[in-house]
């Protein structure tokens, strides 16, 4: 059956490329309705051939020919449309972090868990070859028992980039912790096959006040910050959402970890491997810049490049992963693709880390349970 798709947040930095991939998946899906706050952009989205172009998300959810809804809005605006989708019997694609907080995330998961409605949360790192291979090596016991994890995820912004909703703690779920920290933690839990037990975090907003150009999206902000945009930069606004965090982690097996998560402009990506896994038999580093897996053994003097797995991009994520996951779950079958349960479990981690940063003490993830 071809899926009728409604896209909420259709014209932003995330929704725009998703729509392009859906247009390329015409044999499996068609865009029926699009929704965004900016009418000028909605009119430009006419290439989708949507029956409904609106700024009212309820009209998308209630449209009789929409049976899959994409929620691509700021974090704090997910809960209402997601719960409405469950009530209306609509399959769901929800951007991560799925809620403003873990309570919202659990309500979403609980609304879908006992249904035959498909759901998907885009933790894309799972589909990067070096991550998938690292998971396979761990499962095969090549490292022995993993005892320590080091993760560095730096996603630097241009130094002059303006303020966006991601800098606003009223709209963003824990800032960089929720944005890229959710990707980092999901990758680790997926590779290891276990969850964190407790965390101790320092998090802060270390970037100076940014130009305030009003309600612009990430694409516009990146363009402006790179020197290509236009606008009045007389006003400045200091971010209230975390843009830097260090997190000490203890996993359920007793393994320990250290994670650094950042959007600060001066923390570059290329200086060190992104992920290190240290086991009782060997250590493995994962370098997403050079696409290399490097293995270190105690009986060898120098580490060796185990594999180089070039990655040319995800291609059409909807035709490759999303639509098949929706169909699997809609039949009651299990799916290896990430869904709302993963979104909830990841949000337990990011909320616990944010709580630890505020309180200055270890926080058990069990505190985040309903």
In percent, the amount of the chain with pLDDT more than 70 equals 98
Q: How far apart, in whole angstroms, are the C-alpha atoms of residue 24 and residue 47?
A: 12
Q: How far apart, in whole angstroms, are the C-alpha atoms of residue 159 and residue 226?
A: 8
15: left (phi over 0), alpha (psi -120 to 50) or beta: alpha
How far is CA 233 from each of CA 77, 161, 220, 258, 369, rounded to the nearest angstrom?
Answer: 27, 10, 14, 37, 43
Same domain membership, residue 34 and residue 149: no
Is 342 within a domain?
no
Residue 128 backbone phi and psi in degrees, to 5 = -85, 125
Provide the domain count of the chain: 2
Same domain membership, residue 331 and residue 284: no
Same domain membership, residue 324 and residue 354: no
7-33 confidence digits (pLDDT tens): 999 999 999 999 999 999 999 999 999
268-306 confidence digits (pLDDT tens): 766 788 999 999 999 999 998 899 999 999 998 899 999
The residue segments making up the domain with residue 108 are 3-123+315-336
pLDDT for res 349: 98
Is 358 within a domain?
yes
Tokens standing for residue 209: 């006040």
Helices (H), the chain: 15-23, 39-44, 57-61, 79-88, 102-112, 129-139, 176-192, 218-225, 317, 323-330, 340-359
Is 341 within a domain?
no
Q: Give the pairing of strands 91-94 and 68-71.
A: parallel
Same domain membership, residue 292 and residue 146: yes
DSSP state string for 120-185: E---GGGGSHHHHHHHHHHHTTTTSSEEEEEEEEE-PPPTTPPP-GGG-TTTSSSTHHHHHHHHHH
Average pLDDT over residues 110-125: 97
How far is CA 252 from each of CA 11, 136, 196, 198, 302, rounded to the nearest angstrom?
Answer: 41, 20, 6, 9, 31
The side-by-side arrangement of strands in the sheet containing 3-8 is 52-54, 29-35, 3-8, 68-71, 91-94, 119-120
Count of all residues that appear for the chain in the document = 370
Q: Tell me what the pLDDT averaged over the chain comes to.
A: 94
Assess whether pLDDT exceeds 80 at residue 365.
yes
Average pLDDT over residues 344-349: 98
> How crowded is residue 299: how many other Cβ atoms within 10 Å of its Cβ?
5
Q: How far is CA 197 from the centre of its chain?
A: 21
Assess whether pLDDT exceeds 90 at residue 96.
yes
Same domain membership, residue 258 and residue 194: yes
pLDDT for res 270: 66
Same domain membership, residue 150 and residue 103: no
Is 241 within a domain?
yes
**CATH code of the domain covering residue 31:** 3.40.50.720
Sole residue written with tokens 């247009």: 23
**CATH code of the domain covering residue 279:** 3.30.360.10
Q: What is the gyration radius of the CA atoms in the chain, in angstroms?
A: 21
Residue 319 backbone phi and psi in degrees, to 5 = -70, -30
Same domain membership, residue 235 and residue 103: no
Same domain membership, residue 356 and residue 261: yes
207-258 confidence digits (pLDDT tens): 999 999 988 888 888 888 887 655 556 789 999 999 999 999 999 999 999 9
Average pLDDT over residues 320-340: 95
Nearest alpha-carbon partner for 83 in 67, 53, 116, 106: 106
Same domain membership, residue 264 and residue 135: yes
Q: Give the pairing of strands 236-237 and 146-154.
A: unpaired
More confident residue, 200 or 156: 200
Q: How far is CA 171 from the centre of its chain?
A: 15
Q: How far is CA 125 from the centre of its chain?
A: 9
Same domain membership, residue 148 and residue 218: yes
> How crowded is residue 333: how many other Cβ atoms within 10 Å of its Cβ?
9
Same domain membership, residue 157 and residue 37: no
Is 343 within a domain?
no
pLDDT for res 307: 96
Same domain membership, residue 136 and residue 106: no
């Amino acid at each position: 059956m071809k899926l009728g798709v409604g896209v909420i947040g259709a014209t932003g930095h995330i929704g725009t490329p998703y729509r392009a991939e859906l247009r390329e998946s015409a044999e499996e899906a068609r865009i029926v309705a699009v929704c965004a706050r900016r009418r000028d952009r909605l009119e430009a989205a006419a290439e989708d051939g949507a029956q409904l172009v609106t700024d009212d998300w309820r009209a998308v959810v209630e449209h009789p020919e929409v049976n899959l809804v994409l929620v691509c809005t700021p974090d704090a605006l997910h809960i209402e449309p997601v719960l409405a989708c469950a009530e209306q019997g609509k399959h769901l694609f929800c951007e991560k972090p799925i809620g403003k907080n873990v309570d919202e995330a659990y309500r979403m998961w609980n609304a879908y868990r006992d249904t035959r409605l498909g759901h998907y949360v885009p933790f894309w790192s799972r589909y990067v070859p070096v991550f998938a291979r690292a998971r396979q090596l761990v499962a095969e016991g090549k490292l022995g028992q993993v005892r320590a994890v080091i993760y560095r995820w730096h996603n630097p912004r241009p130094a002059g980039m303006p303020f966006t909703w991601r800098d606003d703690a009223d709209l963003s779920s824990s800032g960089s912790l929720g944005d890229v920290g959710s990707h980092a933690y999901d990758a680790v839990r997926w590779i290891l096959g276990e969850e964190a037990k407790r965390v101790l975090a320092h998090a802060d907003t270390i970037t100076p006040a940014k130009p305030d150009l009003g309600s612009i999206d990430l694409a516009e902000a990146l363009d402006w910050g790179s020197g290509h945009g236009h606008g009045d930069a007389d006003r400045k606004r200091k971010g209230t959402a975390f843009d830097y965090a260090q997190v000490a982690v203890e996993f359920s097996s007793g393994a320990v970890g250290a994670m650094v998560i950042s959007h600060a402009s001066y923390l570059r990506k290329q200086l060190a491997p992104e992920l290190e896994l240290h086991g009782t038999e060997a250590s493995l580093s994962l370098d997403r810049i050079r696409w290399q897996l490097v293995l270190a053994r105690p009986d060898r003097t120098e580490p060796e490049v185990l594999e180089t797995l070039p990655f040319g991009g995800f291609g059409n994520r909807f035709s490759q992963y999303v639509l098949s996951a929706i169909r699997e779950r809609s039949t009651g079958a299990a799916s290896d693709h990430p869904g709302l349960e993963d979104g909830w479990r990841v949000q337990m981690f990011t909320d616990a880390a944010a709580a630890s940063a505020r309180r200055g003490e270890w926080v058990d993830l069990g505190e985040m349970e309903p």
